[in-house]
Chains A and B, each alone.
Chain A
Amino acid sequence: MKSDVLIAPDHLEKSSRAALREQIRGAAEVVVIPALALVGALALFGVFVALFGKNPLDLYFYMYQGAFGTWFSWQNTLTRAAPLILTALCTALPAQLGMVIIGGEGALLMGALAATSAALALPGAPPLAVQVAMACAGMITGGLWIALSGALRQYRGVNETISSLLLVYIALALLNHLVEGPMRDPTSLNKPSTSEIGAANMIGTIPGTDVHWGFAFGIIAAVLSYVLIYHAVFGFAARVAGGNLRAAKVVGLSVSRLILIICFLAGAAAGLAGMVEVAAVQGRTNANLAAGYGFTGILVAFLARQNPLAVIPVAILLGGIGASGGLLQRRLGLPDASVLVLQGMIFIAVLASDSLYGRLPFFARKGGA
């Protein structure tokens, strides 16, 4: 939304006022409908919890407290959201072209491996140089991993959803092989791992918080993606191709190039998430990296309706659900699976609410505007 539209001077013509009202109404619709879906899902979850003999009001209180109630809870939420923003972009970017990429987990793992290799290949280099090398290695490897799916689709007609998913298993097998074989630190006895990248090379936390830099990287990447998709010629071309492939070809757009570049950028975001997991959390690569961030990212992207900017609040929401899940287990004695039930309810509610667009009387277009 542009701010200059909001402070429209009085002498504007009637038609542009109507247009403005239309724009605000449209923006409100995009916010209100998912919010209604969220409230609906929470209410449904309250009923579910009540069936187990727990008080739903306690549930809402603990969820709020665990996710946003204290400064600690906020940091907990943002830390959990950090990798999700980046992995969600791995699905949201190709979606602009009408592609459904669900292999962010594979790009994350490959990015983590490459970032670790880069750090181990540069012993004694200044930390900043090592960190930059790790980020580049992670992004390039992750990017190539998803670009491979894009290329298979464009040149060989392989469905990109299937290929990107299968590439996850290949990445995991590769990671396990390297970590338990050639790259194994011989002192990692009962937990096969690579050597550590060294404490000096860790990227640390955002000053004054406990939240690592991955969160800031995620915000930057999401904003850049938004600008690229909605305010750049390249993004416009991508959306045209996503809307109608044949039309895009007729007007002379290089669809192959678009697919490869967008897939590369998508994979680079997930690869960066892998680099951050190594450089801010684990300090080395091992099987712990396959924590499913890539898969939760798919959920985030779909809930954000593939809008790179909306990915940020949705990731924070899911981070908050994760953060409060622990408190629900401890205070209400709910099993861990209850959080999955809630996630599922939100997912279904938001997807189902898609059919409400343009149908709620409050948002209905008036006249022929």
Chain B
Amino acid sequence: MTFDPLSRRRLLQGTAALTVATTVPLRAAFAKETTIGFIYVGSRDDYGYNQAHAQGAAALKKLSDIKVVEEEKVPETDAVEKTMESMINLDGATLLFPTSFGYYNPHMIKIANKHPKLRFEHCGGLWTDKDPKNAGSYFGYIDEAQYVSGVVAGHSTKSGKFGFVAAKPIPQVLRNINAFTMGAKLANPKATLQVIFTGDWSMPVKEAEATNSLIDQGVDVVTCHVDGPKTVVENAARRGAMVCGYHVNQATLAPQAYLTGAEWNWEVLYPRFVKMFTAGETIPNFYRGGLKEGLVKVSPYGSMVSEAARKQADDVKAKLSDGSYVIFKGPLVDNKGKTVIASGVNRGQTDPELEKMDYLVDGVIGATS
């Protein structure tokens, strides 16, 4: 068989045509609509962190000319880089939401640098000037909702003992534990909160053990900060304790035991971002907000929540919502007796010091290390 130049060229042309044929129709099909990619680290029906984001994505599906593509259980390795690029190359995505904390650096930063015309929005990261301009980070001050939850819990307890199942002693988690405790002490000054760290974000067996052991110690209200609160909520309810939820509304899992909970409200934020994006406006690179901005919300109170609890909780919520209330204000003492915020100092939500929190406030039983 002879290889003359013509046939070789034909072969190359053929290959090129094939490649074009497989990619072009896909891109053309989405040319009119904006394709947005969502990436989750766990499953999107986990009754927790990932479901909260998936609910936000679902809100986008109702908008016209918006196509949402989703991928779940993507690990925080180069797999997420490939998933982002696959959404870009094969689906034509122009706006991406890699939603897990560990996706930020180096993975999302790397892909954002590689695709400067596309937009990347990350949940939880701390965007700085050194990061690419087409990348951004957003997060909600969910400790405000935790504080309100704490007030409800403080009114509802009989033993005055609360339990908190937490993943890791990192600033975001400590801030929630502290806010919940301070809210509870507002209603019940003698209240104590026992915290148990499981060591990782999704450890159902340890979470169940921790819940049981807390209840064995006399705790009657349990809450948590793990990726999927389902285990904690169901176990606590089965043991007859009350629960405060986290991430999304878990009332359907334990209707008789669910007092209230701290929820994300990505259904509000994502359409807001997408409208900015499709209108050609720039989404702020660093975006934060709490109850006032509508990024977080408090679950509807359960039927067993008393009038007094509702009244005080609503009162605190109203003040937080108009921005007139500061949770972390001096004098604040940690559980080792050290003053962490001096008298007269108010640390408002945007205070960068709060992002470095490394203490547990007075009333918390447990240690950060």
Contact = CB atoms under 8 A, between A and B. Distances in A.
Interface of A: 65-66, 69-73, 76, 79-80, 176, 180-181, 189-192, 212, 277, 281-283, 286-289, 291-292, 322-323, 326-327, 329-330, 335-336
Contact of B90 (A70, A79, A281): A70
Contacts of B86: 66, 72-73, 76, 323, 326-327
| 5 A-B pairs with the lowest CB-CB distances in the bound complex, closest first | A336-B73, A288-B76, A330-B69, A291-B75, A76-B82
Nearest to A283: B106
B199 interface: yes
B124 A65 contact: no
Given A190-B101, A282-B77, A291-B77, A76 B91 contact: no
Given A72-B85, A189-B355, A326-B86, A80 B79 contact: yes
Contacts of B72: 329, 335-336
Given A190-B172, A192-B170, A327 B77 contact: no
B70 A65 contact: no
B339 interface: no
Nearest to B39: A326
A191 B71 contact: no
7 contacts: A65-B22, A70-B19, A73-B86, A189-B170, A191-B170, A192-B168, A282-B77
Interface string B331-369: 000000000000000000000000110000000000001
Given A288-B76, A291-B79, A70 B89 contact: yes
Interface string B65-108: 00001111111111100110111011100000000011010100
Given A72-B85, A76-B82, A330-B91, 17 more contacts: A72-B89, A73-B90, A79-B78, A80-B79, A181-B369, A190-B172, A191-B170, A283-B106, A287-B102, A288-B76, A288-B102, A291-B76, A291-B77, A329-B70, A330-B69, A330-B87, A336-B72
Nearest to A325: B71
B306 interface: no
B171 interface: yes
A71 B19 contact: yes
A345 to B, nearest CB: 19
Nearest to A324: B86
A54 B335 CA distance: 57
Given A70-B89, A329-B71, A329-B72, A281 B22 contact: no
B43 interface: yes
A233 B280 CA distance: 68
A284 to B, nearest CB: 9
A70 B101 contact: no
A291 B86 CA distance: 20
A190 B124 contact: yes
Given A281-B78, A323-B82, A72 B106 contact: no
Interface string B158-172: 000000000010111
A20 to B, nearest CB: 26
B102 A327 contact: no
Interface in B112-134: 124, 126
B282 interface: no
A189 B356 contact: yes
Nearest to B199: A176
Given A190-B101, A192-B170, A336-B43, A70 B355 contact: no
B87 A190 contact: no
Contact of A190 (B43, B73, B78, B170): B170
A70 B22 contact: yes
Nearest to B200: A287
A291 B73 CA distance: 11
Nearest to A202: B106
B23 interface: yes
A25 B10 CA distance: 37
A344 B287 CA distance: 43
Interface string B21-56: 011000000000000000000010000000000000
A213 B78 CA distance: 13
Given A65-B90, A288-B76, A330-B70, A79 B82 contact: yes
Contacts of B73: 336
A335 B355 CA distance: 35
A271 to B, nearest CB: 17
B128 to A, nearest CB: 11
A363 B355 CA distance: 68
Contacts of A282: 77, 106
